[in-house]
Amino acid sequence: MNHLPVLPVLLPMFAGAWLAMTTGGGRGSHRLLSLMATLLQIPLAAALIYRAGGGISVYALGNWPPPFGIVLVVDRLAALMLLTTAVLAVAALLYALRGDDEEGKSFHTLFQFQLMGINGAFLTGDLFNLFVCFEILLIASYGLLLHGSDRLRTRAGLSYVVLNITGSALFLIALGIFYGGAGTINMADLAVRIAGVPPPDAPLFGAAGALLWTAFGLKAAAFPLHFWLPRAYAAAAAPAAALFAVMTKVGIYAILRVDTLIFNRGAGVLAMFAHDWLWAAALITITLGAVGALAARNIGALVAYLVLSSVGVLLAAVVLGSREALVAGLYYLIHSTWISGALFLLAGVIARARGPAVAGLLIPGPPLGRPWFLSGLFFAGAVAVAGMPPFSGFLGKALLLAAAGDGPPALGLYTAVLGGGLLILIALSRAGSTLFWRQTETAAPGGTPDPVRLGAAVLLLAAAPILVIGAGPILAYLDGAAGQLLSPAVYIAEVLPHLTAPSGGSP
């Protein structure tokens, strides 16, 4: 048995545990170990992507055969999410190495455990294991959010923690109903059971599904469960906020996985469960994110609202659910993860250069060192995130709008996406002109920006042109990923090879 699929989880686990245990090794060795472990994620994810091109591979932990043991499933989507996370993590870590990791204890340990939770959530094929991975990534994120703590962070942290614990309780209730009703929590097995569920039992599983959507929607920050996001993300340190850019995507990924695998078109009574509600939530999230961006008084909060708006776009793609829409959604997912990460890092650089008095507030501040370079980067990021040509945001949104067809859904989507894009454009131009053009006469206290910090932001921003230039092969890969998502029977047959008729409901 090839052990490659479990490595993205084991590597950060051992690195994190080692970092937690060795306190006397000096900060240099800690930084080196953390950086090596994070860099290694990229070739690992690339190898898994290469492997996923050949089909779905299943890894049974401890060699317990599914559905009794826990399985890790690598399909194209999971491998892609791993690579997206790995690249983002490398950039966030590079930024943190320039001093942010020293502002509090155990930054690198928490960072590695956060990666472990995120990677585990993408790989697992078991709902309870998904819950455990969620908890790992959450408890690490609590620590990262409070890293280098100040009052704002403590306050934002408290509501974030309470909300997420409540969300976990709902997730557990849903798991309990699934296990009590269907006798399994393996996703593939559950899909088989749900497809054959008799109509009288359907409301029970519907309730469990609704609880799952609530728990995942809270993670993804979809309306009306989005209130925690702007405050928490705006308060977090820049590298932590950048890594958090992928956390909302974990929620979206979970919705996408459960929706295409369990509540798919073949799920009988429960097919396309709650899609109307999710559609409305998606459109409102897009609009609220854009309006919030317009109202933001702080550059960190502005970027946090941009993340919120992108969550809405992704949710809309998931609900549309056609092959074209999923391709567009996944493309937009890579784009928005990297670009929002880049903007969080850039916001950190700008706030630092403006000095602690004005920091990220959108008011006139002291002139910046290297204004052309900084403002150029901000402009490129703004163009990419607002969905203007020639960068990746435009391509993602255009693909999604094209996939919406010309029915009633298209009307709402066009209005929300294009109107939201306009509002975001206005918010970003206002923020940019305040930051770079309206200046007070005082000298900049921060000096010229640190080249490594800027480099980390440039690394992620480079994705905007690269995703467009390489769009051909990327879209071809994503098309395969969407194809896998839309044929759940293949997934089920790979996980449960002993089931000859995947559509049957017999236990």
Q: Which residues bind other proteins (CB under 8 A)?
A: 128, 132, 135, 138-139, 142, 146, 151, 154-155, 157-159, 161-162, 165-166, 168-169, 172-173, 175-177, 179-180
Please state, in angstroms and rounded to a whole number, the distance separating the CA atoms of residues 84 and 107.
Answer: 21
Whichever of 33 and 121 has its CB closer to other proteins, that residue is: 121
For the CB of residue 216, give the shortest distance to other proteins in the complex, in Å: 17
Q: ω into residue 390 within 30 of 0, thus cis?
A: yes
Whichever of 138 and 318 has its CB closer to other proteins, that residue is: 138
Whichever of 88 and 130 has its CB closer to other proteins, that residue is: 130
Whichever of 245 and 254 has its CB closer to other proteins, that residue is: 254
**Residues 395, 399, 401: CA angle, nearest 5 degrees:** 120
Please state, in angstroms and rounded to a whole number, the distance separating the CA atoms of residues 340 and 383.
Answer: 12
Q: What is the C-alpha R_g of the chain? A: 22
For the CB of residue 14, give the shortest distance to other proteins in the complex, in Å: 21
Please state, in angstroms and rounded to a whole number, the distance separating the CA atoms of residues 121 and 118.
Answer: 5
For the CB of residue 31, give the shortest distance to other proteins in the complex, in Å: 26
Q: Which pair of tokens denotes residue 443?
A: 């000298």
Contact 139, 120 (CB under 8 A): no
Whichever of 37 and 208 has its CB closer to other proteins, that residue is: 208
For the CB of residue 179, give the shortest distance to other proteins in the complex, in Å: 5
Please spell the DSSP secondary structure of 13-66, one letter per residue.
Answer: HHHHHHHHH--SSHHHHHHHHHHHHHHHHHHHHHHHHHHHTT--EEEEGGGPPT
Distances (CA, A) of 39 to 19, 83, 259, 284, 318: 16, 11, 32, 38, 31
For the CB of residue 254, give the shortest distance to other proteins in the complex, in Å: 17
For the CB of residue 352, give the shortest distance to other proteins in the complex, in Å: 23
Whichever of 138 and 314 has its CB closer to other proteins, that residue is: 138
Whichever of 186 and 484 has its CB closer to other proteins, that residue is: 186
Please state, in angstroms and rounded to a whole number, the distance separating the CA atoms of residues 231 and 77.
Answer: 30
For the CB of residue 128, give the shortest distance to other proteins in the complex, in Å: 6
For the CB of residue 173, give the shortest distance to other proteins in the complex, in Å: 6
3-state SS assignment for residue 224: coil
The contacts of residue 431 (CB under 8 Å, 6+ apart) are 296, 299, 302, 362
Contact 459, 94 (CB under 8 A): yes
Element (H, E) at 71: strand 71-74
Please state, in angstroms and rounded to a whole number, the distance separating the CA atoms of residues 441 and 408.
Answer: 54
For the CB of residue 177, give the shortest distance to other proteins in the complex, in Å: 8
Whichever of 33 and 215 has its CB closer to other proteins, that residue is: 215
Please state, in angstroms and rounded to a whole number, the distance separating the CA atoms of residues 416 and 6.
Answer: 40
Whichever of 107 and 178 has its CB closer to other proteins, that residue is: 178
For the CB of residue 116, give the shortest distance to other proteins in the complex, in Å: 15
Whichever of 203 and 376 has its CB closer to other proteins, that residue is: 203
For the CB of residue 164, give the shortest distance to other proteins in the complex, in Å: 8
Please state, in angstroms and rounded to a whole number, the distance separating the CA atoms of residues 194 and 179.
Answer: 12
Whichever of 22 and 159 has its CB closer to other proteins, that residue is: 159
3-state SS assignment for residue 141: helix
Tell the burial category of 62 from Cβ atoms under 10 Å away from its Cβ (0-12, 13-18, 19+): exposed
Helices (H), 245-322: 247-261, 275-295, 299-320
Please state, in angstroms and rounded to a whole number, the distance separating the CA atoms of residues 393 and 326.
Answer: 15
Contact 292, 305 (CB under 8 A): yes
Whichever of 164 and 336 has its CB closer to other proteins, that residue is: 164
For the CB of residue 170, give the shortest distance to other proteins in the complex, in Å: 8
The contacts of residue 16 (CB under 8 Å, 6+ apart) are 108, 109, 110, 111, 112, 113, 116
